[in-house]
């Protein structure tokens, strides 16, 4: 973004007074559970010899039930869950892993961590993986794995996508960092592929600062994941796990990578599962209020969202069309100065959380000319966070700020 003097709003300009970066607080029940655990001191998820059931084991059991999968493992971030998932499905150093070009840095980070090679797949104009390009890249690369990121909660046509995956015999890992509780045509994300990975980082659907959850129905993947996550020989303390004889097949072959979830994190998260559906329904209402307002602003386009996509929008994306980089800078700066922080995926340099495939230069073999549509789409792609407390009045103020910002960027 170009360096310019900070803008000071004049009286008649609309200003949004809320803070879009405010996280959701921890419910009192979670605070009480965390304090109890701190008094007890048993913050490590395992005990050498214990009678009580650890919080992490209870959370895993409850989340497996919520996610509709047999097995669940808590780890210390979604990035770790993605890494553990890659290793547990059998990705070895040098293996090729297909991934959609629109995602966040922890996704290519997990592929690099596993020593694998990312094969970038293009996206379509509505921000999801381009299924024809997946078909073509799967054939050309011979990759056996797909890391499918539902980036910012956008879900592709899962019927068409899974048909391509079956045809190429791809093992699918779903990155559900933004889709906890979301689905396609009545089926939850995290249940389409071999493994689903979720984030509980502060700005996700449930908040523990850091945290990740991995779910699967495959007993060998589940046992390997528990061992990789750093269970020592204490895996019997898990409750959402396969039977102990499955661990016998893997315990001598699987390194301990120490990516465990702490008991404190689990205690905080357990209190949020019962209110997740309520939060998700607030987000849907907010999106349904704000999205049509933004769609009416000149030069802004909302993505099409198919009826079968049951998304849970904790953020909102739109595309800026027909503006120069300088005009986009003016739009962003005006919005920011008036209380609406807009993230822009087209920025030349990575900023804050936001980076792009051509910034991930550590990836071996990636050539950004491989994903021309992603380059075009990401150039105009913007993102705002939707805290679950936004009211209809807040939505109206935010859309007014964006409309005025666009006026400022495009002139009279």
Ligand X SMILES: Cc1ncc(COP(=O)(O)O)c(C=O)c1O
Closer Cβ to ligand X, 14 or 77, answer by number: 77
Contact pattern for ligand X over residues 23 through 62, marking x by CB under 6 A: ----------------------------------------
Q: Looking at 151, 214, 302, 378, which residue binds ligand X (CB under 6 A)?
A: 151
Residue selected from 54, 106, 183, 380 as contacting ligand X according to rule CB under 6 A: 106
Kindly state whether residue 212 participates in binding ligand X, applying the rule CB under 6 A: yes
Stretch that binds ligand X, among 34-42, 98-106, 259-267, 381-389 (CB under 6 A): 98-106
Site string for ligand X, 60-89 (x = CB under 6 A): -----------------xxx----------
Q: DSSP state, 260?
A: B
Residue that has been written with the tokens 């999968």 in this structure: 69
The footprint of ligand X on this chain (CB under 6 A) covers a number of residues equal to 15
Taking the least distance from each CB to ligand X, the nearer of 353 and 389 is: 353
Whichever of 198 and 334 has its CB closer to ligand X, that residue is 198
Position among 14, 100, 149, 271 found at the interface with ligand X (CB under 6 A):
149
Contact region with ligand X (CB under 6 A), list: 136-144, 172-180, 224-232, 360-368: 172-180
Q: Which residues pair with 383 in a beta bridge?
A: 317, 343
CB-based contacts of 208: which residues, under 8 Å, 6+ apart? 200, 201, 202, 265, 266, 268, 269
- Which of 85, 107, 173, 195 lies at the binding interface for ligand X (CB under 6 A)? 107
> Looking at 135, 174, 175, 358, which residue binds ligand X (CB under 6 A)?
175
* Structure token pair of residue 226: 């528990």
Alpha-helical (H) ranges within 129-239 are 131-141, 158-168, 219-229
Provide the 8-state DSSP code for 118. Answer: E
Rounded distance, CA 320 to CA 195, Å?
A: 35
Question: How would you label 212-245 residue by residue, b for 16+ Cβ within 10 Å and e otherwise?
Answer: bbbbbebbbbbbbbbbbbbbeebbeebbbbbeee
Encoding tokens for residue 160? Answer: 């068409």
Among 14, 88, 100, 199, binds ligand X (CB under 6 A): 199
DSSP, collapsed to helix, strand or coil, labels residue 213 as: strand
Q: Which of residues 237-296 bind ligand X (CB under 6 A)?
A: none
- The beta-strand segments (E) located in 241-314 are 300-301, 309-310
Task: Using the rule CB under 6 A, give the single segment among 36-44, 104-112, 285-293, 398-406 that binds ligand X.
Answer: 104-112
Residues 6+ apart with CB under 8 A from 336: 342
In terms of CB distance, is 216 or 397 closer to ligand X?
216
Residues 6 or more apart whose Cβ sits within 8 Å of residue 166 = none
How many whole angstroms separate alpha carbon 97 and alpha carbon 144?
7
Identified binder of ligand X from the candidate list 100, 103, 179, 254, rule CB under 6 A: 103
Work out how close the CB of 177 gets to ligand X at its nearest, in angstroms, rounded to a whole number: 3
Whichever of 201 and 229 has its CB closer to ligand X, that residue is 201
**Binding region for ligand X (CB under 6 A):** 77-79, 103-104, 106-107, 149, 151, 175, 177-178, 199, 201, 212
């Amino acid at each position: 973004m170009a360096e310019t003097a900070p803008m000071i709003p004049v009286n008649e300009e609309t200003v949004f007074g809320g803070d879009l970066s405010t996280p959701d607080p921890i419910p009192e029940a979670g605070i009480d559970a965390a304090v109890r655990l701190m008094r007890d001191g048993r913050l490590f998820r395992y005990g050498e010899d214990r009678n009580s059931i650890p919080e992490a084991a209870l959370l895993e059991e409850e989340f497996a039930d919520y996610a509709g999968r047999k097995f669940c493992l808590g780890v210390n971030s979604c990035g770790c869950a993605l890494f553990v998932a890659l290793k547990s499905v059998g990705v070895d150093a040098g293996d090729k892993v297909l991934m959609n070009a629109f995602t966040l840095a922890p996704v290519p980070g997990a592929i690099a961590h596993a020593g694998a090679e990312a094969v970038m797949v293009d996206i379509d104009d509505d921000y999801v993986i381009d299924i024809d390009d997946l078909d073509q890249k799967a054939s050309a690369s011979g990759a056996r794995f797909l890391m499918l990121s539902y980036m910012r909660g956008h879900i592709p046509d899962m019927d068409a996508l899974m048909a391509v995956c079956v045809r190429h015999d791809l093992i699918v890992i779903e990155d559900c960092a933004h889709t906890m509780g979301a689905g396609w045509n009545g089926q939850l994300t995290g249940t389409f592929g071999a493994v689903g990975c979720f984030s509980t980082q502060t700005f996700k659907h449930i908040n523990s600062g850091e945290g990740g959850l991995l779910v699967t129905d495959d007993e060998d993947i589940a046992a390997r994941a528990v061992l990789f996550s750093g269970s020592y020989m204490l895996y019997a303390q898990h409750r959402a796990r396969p039977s102990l004889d499955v661990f016998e097949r893997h315990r001598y072959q699987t390194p301990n990578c120490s990516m465990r979830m702490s008991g404190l994190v689990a205690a905080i998260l357990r209190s949020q599962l019962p209110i997740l559906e309520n939060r998700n329904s607030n987000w849907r209402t907010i999106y349904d209020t704000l999205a049509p307002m933004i769609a009416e602003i000149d030069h802004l386009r909302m993505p099409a969202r198919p009826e079968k996509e049951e998304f849970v929008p904790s953020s909102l994306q739109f595309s800026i069309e027909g503006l120069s980089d300088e005009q986009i800078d003016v739009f962003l700066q005006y919005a920011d100065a008036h209380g609406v922080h807009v993230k822009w995926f087209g920025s030349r340099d990575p900023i804050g959380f936001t980076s792009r495939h051509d910034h991930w230069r550590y990836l071996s073999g990636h050539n950004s000319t491989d994903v021309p549509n992603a380059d075009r789409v990401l150039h105009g792609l913007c993102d705002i966070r939707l805290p679950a407390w936004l009211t209809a009045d807040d939505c109206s103020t935010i859309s007014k700020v964006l409309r005025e910002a666009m006026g400022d960027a495009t002139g009279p």
